[in-house]
Amino acid sequence: MRRKTSARLRLSAVLLTTACAAAGLTATGLAPAAAADPAPAPESRQPASPALLDAMKRDLGLTPAAARERLADERQAVTTERAARKAAGAAYAGSWFDAARGRLTVAVTQRSAAADVRKAGADTRMVEHSAAHLDAAKSRIDALKAPKNVASWRVDAKANSVVVDVVAGHRADNDVETFLRKARAAAPVQVGTVANAPSTFAAGTVGGDPYYTGNVRCSIGFSVHGGFVTAGHCGRAGAAVRGWDGSDIGTFQGSSFPDNDYAWVSVGNGWWTVPVVLGWGTIPDQLVRGSAEAPVGSSICRSGSTTKWHCGNLLAKNETVNYSDGTVVHQLTKTSVCAEGGDSGGSFISGDQAQGVTSGGWGNCGSGGETWFQPVNEILQRYGLTLHTA
């Protein structure tokens, strides 16, 4: 942000200096947290902000009371998952949050481990394949060349297999059948269907509150000390970046796409970073207080320069996505949140914990869709960055 920008941006700085004392403010979007290999952040006990509750009502159909209860259950699930995974050891086969019951379920391959997992506070399910086995199997599928109508593949803890999603109407295509045959030789596979092939969410230059590189518009992810993180497909290392007002921000210092989809941009030229996410007048600017990874099944919200705030559910982790232009990105997290062009690079958050930056998806915020994000902690570790926290 620049000192000569509008009153709205000045308000962000004021918010930063006063928010630590503001008992009612909880982050729900862009910002900050831990260091390069972040320790789990303390869990916030502050009440959810009205903006977050409104978004969860609009996108998840939850009353304010139900949303508060779900957020509390999800905070507990994050803590439980860490303890349960340690208790399961080599028998760990993945986990997921059951929103209807407000509890975490952990899959295990050994009955002897189940008792220890239950003592940690999680429900258990006996399965055949461990998480380590399925991750190794998925890596073998990653080495295959995917045709354009194979949308993505991931380890699914509930299914205890690798799920390969195929674009509807193309299941019988010869190249799809060939890929599936090779995948089944490498791993236990189930086949799913998606409505459309995913694509990235960059856009041509239009008005709004974004950043620009060349004629591409994307969204800022999370502030780090010295800059911000965003999506790799938005710009290559060395590319110049302009702010929403057209002035120079800085330069892409590192970028990886495809295979990964992350980047970081240095900030200078009179701009500075603060640990907030802008609400663009739609919601108040919000703070983020950590980056503890939410389990599958948790609610999650996304902030971007095109569609602002939208919420949904965290559907899967470590998914390999085959975008419609033929680029493949690994280790993405899948959500039911909608997005549109220009939202690329924007922030994903669960409760008040930063989760990642928007990579791509399919659909839109009128008819719905799905999106994937690059986990934020991986970006920090890759570049040795420290998130700017409140």
What's the rounded Cα separation, in Å, for the pair 292 and 290?
6
The HSE-up count of residue 69 (CA atoms within 13 Å, CB side) is 11
DSSP strands (E only) in 283-327:
286-287, 299-304, 308-322
Q: Which helix (H) or strand (E) holds 126?
A: strand 123-126
Which residue out of 129, 233, 310, 388 is catalytically annotated? 233
What's the rounded Cα separation, in Å, for the pair 299 and 279?
19
Q: 344 an active-site residue?
A: yes
Q: 98 an active-site residue?
A: no
* Residue-wise DSSP of 215-244: TEEE---EEETTEEEE-GGG--TT-EEE-T
Collect all residues with Cβ–Cβ distance below 8 Å to 45 and sequence separation of at least 6. none
What's the rounded Cα separation, in Å, for the pair 25 and 15?
10
Which residue out of 73, 156, 261, 343 is catalytically annotated? 261
Which residue out of 12, 44, 152, 344 is catalytically annotated? 344
Give the end-to-end CA distance of the chain in Å, rounded to a whole number: 16
Nearest to 241 by CA among 256, 229, 258, 225: 229
Residue 248, CA distances (Å) to 2, 135, 314, 322 in order: 10, 42, 35, 33
DSSP lists the bridge partners of residue 347 as 303, 357
Q: 233 an active-site residue?
A: yes
Q: Annotated active-site positions, please?
A: 233, 261, 344
